[in-house]
Amino acid sequence: MTDCIFCKIINGELPSTNVYNDGQVTAFRDINPAAPTHILIVPKKHIDSVNELSVEDEPLIGHLFLIAKQLAAQEGIAEPGYRLVINTGAESGQTVNHVHLHLLGGRQMRALG
């Protein structure tokens, strides 16, 4: 996907503050952080949104969550806690059409629900 910002970051065409990288996933700090820790955990495979996930992506999505857990510990926010968010579709606020998991923490956040 040549016009995708996150694919460009993954390919090294755009700069980012990288905090994690492996064969399947990369993670970098959000350019416009909504919390003291705001990391985006992104599969290297381009998938537009959760709506486009298929059964073959199941291990990849599990992997995203384990990396989120690891990064939360690294950032010192495993306790007291953090939020994991995946926006899906325009109404949710999704602005980049490449699946990504937001890791947010470092101050108290309003509870959802």
87 binds, among ligand 5GP, Zn ion, none (CB under 5 to 8 A by kind): ligand 5GP
Q: How far is the CB of 73 from ligand 5GP (least distance, A)?
A: 21
Active site residues: 100
**Closest by alpha carbon to 107, among 31, 37, 12, 15?**
37
**Closest by alpha carbon to 25, among 73, 54, 59, 2?**
59
- SS3 label, residue 59: helix
CB nearer to ligand 5GP: pick between 2 and 79: 2
Sites of contact with ligand 5GP (CB under 6 A)? 5, 14, 16, 28, 30-32, 40, 87, 93-96
Q: How far is the CB of 6 from Zn ion (least distance, A)?
A: 5
- CA-angle at 67, arms to 108 and 12, nearest 5°: 105
